Structure 1
Amino acid sequence: MLLKLRAGEKLYINGAVIKVERKATIELLNDATFLLEAHVLQPEDANTPLRQLYFVLQTQLMEREASSRTLRLFGEMSAATREALGGGLVADGLIGADALVEAGRIFEAMKTLRGLFALEAELMKDKTSANAA
């Protein structure tokens, strides 16, 4: 797998942080767990239920020693979020993310969650509007 990085960009690979000074291409010759800087959510940005779930999975990828605890936390939080939602597209997406996590496909689960952020924002906006009325 080829990863193209811009100057100053960070790459998180198997828990290590790599920063390149110049534009670089890195070829991974075996399986590795990695995140590009653009996919990393900062703690202060984990301010909605789905973003918090994403942050938990991100932690799973970046800190392998927390593995069983973070996966258990993800399962508990996901179930609580689905229950609070009571169904709909976001809840359906969470079921898909849960299945990916169960299959060990953490990055793909994170991608699924990122795809739900806009729907979550709409739900939260609708809820805020309803509460204001």
Structure 2
Amino acid sequence: MALKLRLKPCERVVINGCVVQNENRRYTLTISNFAQIIRGSDILQEEDAVTPVRRAYFLIQSMLLDPTIAANGSGAAAEMMAQLYTTFTRPDIQDRIARAMGHIGERDYYKALSALRPVMEYEGTLLSPAPSASAPSFQTEGLDLHAGHHAGG
């Protein structure tokens, strides 16, 4: 079954390591056989891989983009996924991680990334500060907030 990619104007997609960019109008691209594909909007930049799930996502993405990393990275990816599986206790999140592990074993890295996106979102909700109406307010009037950082002091 062929994969149809509907590209937005100026959208980028990486197919087997080759960056393809659409022109100024919508376009449909049909892929007739298996290929490693990722849309530009799904690419995580290395500097944004700052949490455990994001680091796993970045490694799998790197495996998708570079066959050398794919050949050498499966052990590290499996270890990262096993750690994530035991860290998260929600069954739906563990299911997503297990699916991602299965896709990695099949070398279908795009599906692995797709399975991890909701895990990344969930991780983000856990790590974001909870807004609190009763957050303590600190009075700083008259305090030297830079104590101990005086020149010559």
Runs of 4+ in 1 over 6 A off after TM superposition: none
Could you list the per-position Cα deviations for residues 5-43 of structure 1 after superposition, in whole angstroms to 9, with x for gaps in the alignment?
122211100011111222222222222211111111111
What are the ranges of 5 or more consecutive residues in structure 1 without an aligned counterpart? none
Count of residue correspondences: 127
In 2, the alpha carbon distance for the partners of 1:93 and 1:31 equals: 22
Give the residue type in structure 2 aligned to 1:5.
L
Name the CA distance, whole Å, in 2 between partners of 1:86 and 1:41: 22
SS at match of 1:31: coil
CA deviations on 1:64-89 (whole Å, 9 max, x unpaired) are 12222221221122223334x16334
Q: TM-score, normalization: structure 1?
A: 0.80
Answer with 89-98 or 38-47: which moved more. Answer: 89-98
Q: Which runs of 5+ in 2 are unaligned?
A: 133-153
- Quote how far apart the aligned CAs of 1:101 are: 1.5
Percent identity (aligned): 27
- Deviation of 1:126 (Å): 7.4
- 1:15: which partner in 2? 17
**What one-letter code is carried by the residue in structure 2 that aligns with 1:110?**
L
- Find the aligned partners of 1:30 and 1:99 in 2 and give their Cα distance: 20
| Bigger helix share | 1
Whether 2:41 is the aligned partner of 1:38: answer yes
Corresponding residue number in structure 1 for 2:80: 77
Largest Rg, 1 or 2: 2
AA matched with 1:120: E
**Please, what is the CA RMSD of the aligned residues?**
2.3
Q: 1:94 corresponds to which letter in structure 2?
A: I
Structure 2 counterparts to residues 101-116 of structure 1, below 5 A: 101-116=104-119
Q: What is aligned with 2:141?
A: none
Q: Distance in 1 between matches of 2:20 and 2:77?
A: 27
Q: TM-score, normalised by structure 2?
A: 0.71
Residues 14 and 81 from structure 1, CA distance in 2 versus in 1: closer, same or farther, beyond 3 angstroms?
Answer: same
